[in-house]
Amino acid sequence: MTGASTGPIGVLEPDNRASRQQRSITGEKRLPDAQSAAFRRRSWAERSRGSRVGQSAGERLPQRARWAGQGLSAPRSGGLCEQLGRDYFGVCSEPVIKDNVVVVYEVLEEMLDNGFPLATESNILKELIKPPTILRTVVNTITGSTNVGDQLPTGQLSVVPWRRTGVKYTNNEAYFDVIEEIDAIIDKSGSTITAEIQGVIDACVKLTGMPDLTLSFMNPRLLDDVSFHPCVRFKRWESERILSFIPPDGNFRLLSYHVSAQNLVAIPVYVKHNISFRDSSSLGRFEITVGPKQTMGKTIEGVTVTSQMPKGVLNMSLTPSQGTHTFDPVTKMLSWDVGKINPQKPPNLKGTMSLQAGASKPDENPTINLQFKIQQLAISGLKVNRLDMYGEKYKPFKGIKYMTKAGKFQVRT
């Protein structure tokens, strides 16, 4: 990816979030002032006194209903909260939420204004509510302080609320990761029944000032059902198929996209199988081989094979050519950790199955599930052409990485 240039910063299209930010509880327009800024800086505990504290679950339900009905939709709000949970705590799970329930309430209090989404950008919320750390937790316990920031973020009241002003870095860099997940169902003859790709472009941008970036692709027409970060100028994408945006500071998801089954999706691996259950016999045969198919010369790694065997299988005596395998006689789950595939010597797993005496032949053979990843390959064929920067005179370091991994990848036997 090449190209760096300077030029004027384009006019950013107005965002609906900015207009919602100017609405009061009664629906009238208001301008943010020092009083409202001071209100935003108050701690969650002060604002909760007399409102949330002492309320029953039934009294709090209408507010959550207004959030779902008037603000964010249920799928959108759930996905957004999950993403913010990962940004704050590294992982979003029930134990983590229970351990950080105060921080969770503080973040939700800053996100919503009368049930409407107000601040949803991770980097802005992290300035309002500091992410919990061991040191900060100890200090807060001793001093009685909170995670609430002392100052209102400078970008919160601007036309680009996702980016704070006065950003400075010694090393200016911008990295983009194109990650694609392939969902496929392969029939017993090796033909593709259905195959789809879910892709995302994650970015890590650490640039000084207020840079204006444009990202172009070699083949943008591949992208269907695209969902953008609010920073992307949608009209420019519609007319030129170019991503033009002022990026947030730090890590963010630039876009997500979908390549439907109507397109010709390449299948990167093949599975050869020979699974047989014999009538009036206590033994069956099992053999599978996994190898690369359309990988553009890239290595397939992190390969794991799992299969739910029928109830009539008592045990399995298998020998892998590489990796390790396990079979649980209770759950009837076979797992084979293959690792990296050598194209010159595809890994193989074969042996016999001990079957229940007198059991009838299963109606259907088991399904094989695959997990794998391929570095430096976007299986859809999507490729970044160039990244240009305007509005700043320095030359940043730019990098792009590709990765394909398996989603729900099934092979019928």
pLDDT tens profile 157-208: 556 778 877 889 999 999 999 999 999 999 999 899 999 999 999 999 999 9
* Residue showing tokens 């590709």: 402
Do 54 and 191 lie in one domain? The reply is no
Is the domain of 291 the same as that of 331? yes
More confident residue, 14 or 87: 87
Give residue 39's pLDDT. 42
- The CATH number of the domain holding residue 359 is 2.60.40.1170
Burial 45-57, CB ≥16 within 10 A → b, else e: eeebeeeeeeeee
Whether 13 maps to a domain, the answer reads: no
Q: How far apart are CA 6 and CA 23, in angstroms?
A: 37
pLDDT (0 to 100) of residue 130: 76
Check whether residue 252 and residue 396 sit in a common domain. yes
Q: How many domains does the chain have?
A: 3
CATH number at residue 90: 3.30.450
Count CB-CB contacts under 10 A for residue 25. 10
* Region class of 379: left (phi > 0), else alpha (psi between -120 and 50), else beta: alpha
Same domain, 108 and 187: no
Bigger pLDDT: 312 vs 139: 312
> Residue 74 — pLDDT band, cuts 50, 70, 90?
very low
| Model confidence at 69: pLDDT above 70 | no
Q: For residues 257 and 396, state if they share a domain.
A: yes
Residues 337 and 391 in one domain: no
**Which three-class secondary structure string do you get for 276-330?**
EECCCCCEEEEEEEEEECCCCCCCEEEEEEEEECCCCEEEEEEEECCCEEEEECC
For 187, the domain range is 173-262+381-404
The whole-number pLDDT of residue 256 equals: 94
